[in-house]
Structure 1
Amino acid sequence: MTRPQTAQASHRIALLFNANKVYDRGVITGIGNYLLSTRVAWDLFLEEDFRCRLNGIERFEGDGIIADFDDPGVAEALGDSQLPVVAVGSSYSDPACYPARLPYIATDNAKLISLAYTHLIGAGLQRFALYSLPESAENRWAQERELAFKALLAADGLQADIHRGLPTSAPVWSQASAQLTSWLESLPKPVGVIAVTDARARHLLQACLISGIPVPEQVAIIGIDNDPLTRSLTRIPLSSVIQGTEEMGRTAAHLLHQMLGGARFHGRRILVPPVGINVLESTRHQPVSSPYVMRARHYIRQYGCQGIKTEQVADYVGVSRSSLEDHFRRELGCTVHQEILNHKLEVAKQLLARHDLSSAEVAIRCGFTSLQYMYAVFRRELDCTPREYQERLPVAPCAQPG
């Protein structure tokens, strides 16, 4: 009779991350996926609210630690730890910035920026800028992305235009918004702007919407993180670079697993490239010469799913309906109504790709007057029903990269 295999001894592991950030959540998800795919038995310590608190960490009676070393406080607290530690954080152009004796899993900043830059070039843009963060020890990763941006533009013979702005806080929010708007208005257009995070990309989009700068015709915006929360707070969906955070978490867990078995990775560094880009409306740049068409499409992207009519678009632009229709026919070869319908169709396709909404719910969200009308549009434009379109799409895994 075969004896059942006994479970491996459990190790007590501390995860020092701030999971209010999508980056940290992605790394933690990767660690969890590693545990689920192996027979590793870990007793994980995280704060109840998933925040990183260092008070008393030196007295942690555990077997190992995986921590976010982008936080200088974490790096300092764990510098002399006698436990096996795997560091996770930003990549650096200067090797001296890495912890000397610890294995280090890094997001590849140069490749993040390069992917965003190449995407904007592919969208037909020839001018570029970067929206970063104020210089500080906590924002070293943002300054690394600035260096990567400067290097790319210098290689192409271009000048790097970088705006760091102010820290995000309630007392200076109005001042920060005014400075950002002034900077955006000063940029030669059309321009592609890379934001070092999705949160900063949202600031850009808000400033454009308030000041009436068409996105993406005049300012195309791409962020980094692919944060679903940020997407839910913007009228125009934001394109974003998807970091390889889950791979970082899996790799960190794998290294610590080996270290608990006696392996040593003194000073080993592993750079993890981005997964790709979630391309949405904010970078779907289509050059047009008519300012009326630019303003009209800007309005349609914000309110196209709210039942707007051609007359409302013309009122916003400030021209007659017939004049606006003439501009649309010359520039895009379609009517204003068709452009509104195209926008609804694109949003419907994005919602159906999520696989968590019924066709009726999608029809309501996209502003179709009825489910039957949405079916008729899909039949005419895509030669299929919404359900058939959805069935052709792959079902995304439950845990998405951060």
Structure 2
Amino acid sequence: MMFHEECTPMLRGVAHYERSHQPWQAYLDDEAKAKTDLRWLRSKPWSGVISRHTTPEMVEECRRLKIPLVDLSDTEPYPDVPKIRPDNRALGHLGAEHFIERGFRQVAFAGFSNHGWAAERRDGFVEATRLAGVRCEVFEVDYPGDLTPTWDEAQTKALADWVKGLPKPVGVMCCNDMQALQMMAACQAADLLVPEEVAVLGANNDAIRCELSFPPLSSVATDPFQSGFRAAELLDQLMTGGDVASAEVRIDPRGVVARQSSDVLAVNDRNVAAALSYIREHACSGLTVDQVLRHAAASRSQLEKKFRKFFGRSPQAEIRRVQVERIKQLLVETEYPLKRIAELAGFEHVEYMSVVFKRITLITPGEYRRRHQEGPKRA
């Protein structure tokens, strides 16, 4: 068995399937040698191949050698080769809904015009904004297939020129996290604040890349674990004589992982915007409403009235909302015990954190973590 793959969550999905079925003797082609050297396919009597970087030559060689192949690349399907790929239109929908829920009436999408997966994400985003009656702008360029310094510099300048002309505040979704980081650099070059003036959202949720950016990048998360699990399932069926050669499975995205680059509500009121920005930055550091009032230069009654007008909740409730979002992120993305999560979310006592979390989400922190852990989804 050969796995032509380097994506860790996908490999976890494959391993999860393998552990619950007949064990496989597997080889990981983590240097992607089979992509350019077909001798690897002829080197052993493989029972099957799972590939994320599938090429026409690889398809033809597997067909000639009668090796079952499952394709994980997000490209157009090859005839008679089962394919697992993200539901890119659904991913675009989620991105648009993320901004619409935050009150944005001006949104935009930046993508690559020469890639089908990017076009699908664009179409889903535009469709969702049209249904919501929200104005949407689109900016697209051809991606050359290699991120060179020269192209990166030119792209950043082009994005800066484009985003400067958009009405503010605006929510911008990019087709992937790489382009979203270019957008953040473009905003910096154009002296635009992220997220106060331009909220930025990526896609794929490359967690390390998203967390290392400043501010941390929000992203729509695909579900590579589920992709790996379903790929192993299809390959198993092929190796045992099943007829799934024409299958194309679309994997639902996991959802939006909201970080600082888009975790803002679109308002035109200066006092409210200042209060929201301060709450977002300090809610998990023992923030009080009095501190928010001083920063926003507003009276308690004035700010309470404006918050209820714009959001239907008080400044205190907004502080709690930001804290709960931080708790959710830590529950899903870390293995920290609840005591440590309480400290990072600004709670002195873990018991009180659990009470607040359940009051807002209707489930306990432990149940939330269990529901959002990686695992196979069955119909």
Aligned residue number for residue 30 of structure 1: 13
Q: Which amino acid aligns with 1:78?
A: V
Deviations 1:212-255 (A, max 9, x none): 54444533333222332133214545443232322222222122
Note the C-alpha offset of 1:160: 4.1
Deviations 1:82-104 (A, max 9, x none): 2111112326xxxxx42112122
Per mean C-alpha deviation after superposition, the further-off stretch among 192-201 and 250-259 is: 192-201
State the alpha-carbon separation in 1 of the partners of residues 189 and 283 from structure 2: 17
Aligned residue number for residue 286 of structure 1: 265
Deviations 1:317-362 (A, max 9, x none): xxx9684568755633799999779756754564366563356755
> Against the structure 1 CA distance between its residues 134 and 311, is the aligned structure 2 distance closer, same or farther, given a 3 Å change threshold?
farther
What secondary structure is seen at the aligned counterpart in 1 of 2:369?
Answer: coil
Matched ranges for 1:314-333 at <5 A: 323=297, 328=303, 331-332=306-307
Question: 71, 74, 78: which is aligned to 1:90?
Answer: 74
Matched ranges for 1:264-303 at <5 A: 264-291=243-270, 293-295=272-274, 297-298=276-277, 301-302=280-281
Does structure 1 residue 14 correspond to structure 2 residue 5? no
Deviations 1:42-63 (A, max 9, x none): 2222235578653233423222
State the alpha-carbon separation in 2 of the partners of residues 282 and 173 from structure 1: 20
Aligned residue number for residue 65 of structure 1: 49
> Against the structure 1 CA distance between its residues 226 and 219, is the aligned structure 2 distance closer, same or farther, given a 3 Å change threshold?
same
What secondary structure is seen at the aligned counterpart in 1 of 2:108?
Answer: strand
RMSD: 4.3
Per mean C-alpha deviation after superposition, the further-off stretch among 184-193 and 149-158 is: 149-158
Aligned residue number for residue 200 of structure 1: 179
Note the C-alpha offset of 1:68: 1.7
* Preserved contact between residue 200 and residue 223 of structure 1 (Cα < 8 Å): yes
Aligned residue number for residue 111 of structure 1: 90
Q: Which amino acid aligns with 1:186?
A: G
Note the C-alpha offset of 1:148: 4.1
TM-score (norm 2): 0.73
> Against the structure 1 CA distance between its residues 187 and 46, is the aligned structure 2 distance closer, same or farther, given a 3 Å change threshold?
same
Matched ranges for 1:17-166 at <5 A: 17=5, 19=6, 24-39=7-22, 41-48=23-30, 53-55=35-37, 56-61=39-44, 62-69=46-53, 74-81=55-62, 82=65, 83-90=67-74, 97-133=76-112, 135=114, 139-150=115-126, 160-164=137-141
State the alpha-carbon separation in 2 of the partners of residues 195 and 121 from structure 1: 16
Note the C-alpha offset of 1:109: 1.5
Q: Which amino acid aligns with 2:25?
A: D
Does structure 1 residue 222 correspond to structure 2 residue 201? yes
What secondary structure is seen at the aligned counterpart in 1 of 2:36?
Answer: coil
Q: Could you tell me the percent identity over the aligned residues?
A: 23
> Against the structure 1 CA distance between its residues 25 and 259, is the aligned structure 2 distance closer, same or farther, given a 3 Å change threshold?
same
* Preserved contact between residue 174 and residue 201 of structure 2 (Cα < 8 Å): yes
TM-score (norm 1): 0.70
Unmatched segments (≥5 aa) in structure 1 = 1-12, 92-96, 315-319
What secondary structure is seen at the aligned counterpart in 2 of 1:119?
Answer: helix
* Preserved contact between residue 243 and residue 275 of structure 1 (Cα < 8 Å): yes
Note the C-alpha offset of 1:140: 3.8
Note the C-alpha offset of 1:112: 1.6
* Preserved contact between residue 271 and residue 297 of structure 2 (Cα < 8 Å): no
State the alpha-carbon separation in 1 of the partners of residues 226 and 328 from structure 2: 28
State the alpha-carbon separation in 2 of the partners of residues 278 and 160 from structure 1: 23
Q: Which amino acid aligns with 1:76?
A: E
Deviations 1:114-146 (A, max 9, x none): 2322333233323221122363xxx44223333
Aligned length: 360
